[in-house]
Chains A and B, each alone.
Chain A
Amino acid sequence: MVVERMRPLLGTFVAIRARARLAPTDLEHAVSLAYGAVSRVHALMSAQDPASDVSRVNRALPGERVTVDAWTLAVLRRARVIWLATRGLFDPCAAPGATTGFADLDLLAGEVRPLRSVHLTLDGIAKGFAVDRAVAALRAAGVASGVVNAGGDLRIFGADPEPVCVRHPEHPGALVAIGEVREVAVATSAPYFGSSCIDPRSGRACSSQASGTVIAADCMTADALTKPLLIEPAITARALQRFGARALRLPDARLAA
């Protein structure tokens, strides 16, 4: 049996397709659990919600210890690994005119301590993490295969390959078929629909009109690597190798790594 649903979450549309030999009510319940995981990520990591872990870190005084959820810490730890692997190109504390950065955030056991006031945003990685958690919830509930797609950051799980398309950066209504994949995450960053990423080296918005797509084992990693891919593909290539990931830039239409 297959169920497909879509709900507005994380500021975008989160679609779930779930296939399982489960009773319809059990399958619906599994999908609801998956959306529950996504909602939880939203509540913990939304910069707009003053009660979120992220907002509390941003309000903290220098040296103040902030207790955060295990999920928040997991994202921060992975962000640190990717920050190091991309030589700072992925930086969740990058902001226009920022004088502090990710190096000013101490990650401890169960808590975070900003050494100086930081402007933390997990927008460039939390969506991917939410997708991973949704997939984990579906699997735990007995769903054999499916797709979770949060605003274009997606993860495919199960035995069967599925076709994937990427939106063309110059005409987002046109789709570029990149082939069939199984058991991977695919994330794309692009300037259409008004989003842009900050180049941490300059503090300015990245001017690239290209789109960057990363194919990796998990969506959190894929999501995070798309920004460095747009900013500086050469440095990102080593990080891609390190994580066993592959990348595609459009409109170059060449596959890297």
Chain B
Amino acid sequence: MRWETLLTAPIALISPASWAAVYLTVEQAQQAMFPGARLVKAPLKLTSAQREALLERSGVHEPFREDRVWRAASGAFFVVDEVVGKHEMITYAVGIGRDGSVKRIEILEYRETYGHEIRDVAWRAQFVGKTAASPLKLNRDIVNISGATLSCKHVTDGVRRVLALHDLVLRKLNDDGR
């Protein structure tokens, strides 16, 4: 397999103050996970006992927004939720089958913020490139980043909470209550 590396010299530094990637809108994610299905918003009003149970089962502290749960005629559910990444929230969607199993997880929006880095002049001096005088809003469309991102543990915790929500509340919304 032939490959080439075209290296620009000198190596340039980009210090974005923040960047965000929007992968899917809620509607697009609904269509991707439940093609052709009609999703109806499920009315939820969690009691404090239920909220406590969700916290205990998942460890997620951020309040769960009740207005982003939809139900399909099949008895499956589509839930939008947010968890904290490093400094910003990561918005994601979970499709849950009628049997309570996870069908799919899609990240809707992923954001990173690193405002404090751009003030550190000393270490930046070793590079040639853009400086903090004009912090770039990074255009994610054209760059690929090598180097670990966050672990997805918070999303995994969030999904665990959504599954607990299904077990405690959502499955009872299905006609036979099972």
A positions within 8 Å CB-CB of B: 4-9, 11-13, 15, 25, 28, 147, 149, 151-154, 156, 161-168, 170-184, 186-190, 192-193, 195, 211, 213, 215, 217-218, 246, 251, 253, 255
Contacts and interface: CB of A to CB of B under 8 A. Distances in A.
B144 to A, nearest CB: 5
A28 B32 contact: yes
A193 B151 contact: yes
Contacts of B3: 181-184, 217
B27 to A, nearest CB: 14
Nearest 5 Cβ contacts at the A-B interface: A173-B114, A167-B147, A8-B152, A6-B107, A179-B7
Interface string B89-128: 0001000000000001111001011100110100110110
Given A163-B143, A175-B145, A181-B6, 13 more contacts: A4-B21, A5-B23, A6-B107, A152-B145, A156-B144, A164-B143, A164-B144, A165-B146, A173-B15, A177-B11, A178-B11, A179-B8, A211-B147
B65 to A, nearest CB: 19
Interface residues of B, number: 51
B142 A174 contact: no
Task: Tell me the dominant secondary structure on chain A's binding face.
Answer: strand
A171 B5 contact: no
A251 B4 CA distance: 24
Nearest to A155: B144
Interface in B1-37: 1-8, 11-16, 21, 23-24, 32, 35
Contacts of A211: 147
B11 A188 contact: no
Given A175-B13, A177-B8, A165 B144 contact: yes
B24 A253 contact: no
Contact of A8 (B23, B35, B107, B127): B107
A58 B146 CA distance: 31
A12 B123 CA distance: 28
B156 interface: yes
A161 B142 CA distance: 11
A151 B147 CA distance: 7
A177 B129 contact: yes
Contacts of B117: 171, 173-174
A164 B146 contact: yes
B149 interface: yes
B147 A166 contact: yes
28 contacts: A4-B23, A8-B92, A11-B152, A12-B149, A13-B152, A156-B144, A162-B144, A167-B146, A171-B123, A173-B114, A174-B14, A174-B16, A175-B13, A175-B14, A176-B11, A176-B127, A177-B8, A177-B11, A177-B14, A178-B7, A178-B11, A193-B150, A195-B148, A215-B5, A217-B1, A218-B1, A253-B11, A253-B127
A5 B24 contact: yes
A173 B16 contact: yes
Contacts of A176: 11-14, 127
Contacts of A179: 5-8
B130 to A, nearest CB: 10
B148 A188 contact: yes
Nearest to A166: B146
Contacts of B110: 6, 13
A173 B123 CA distance: 13
Contacts of B127: 176, 253
B155 interface: yes
Nearest to A177: B12
Contact of B5 (A11, A153, A170, A184): A184
Contacts of B173: none
B178 interface: no
A156 B13 CA distance: 21
B9 to A, nearest CB: 8
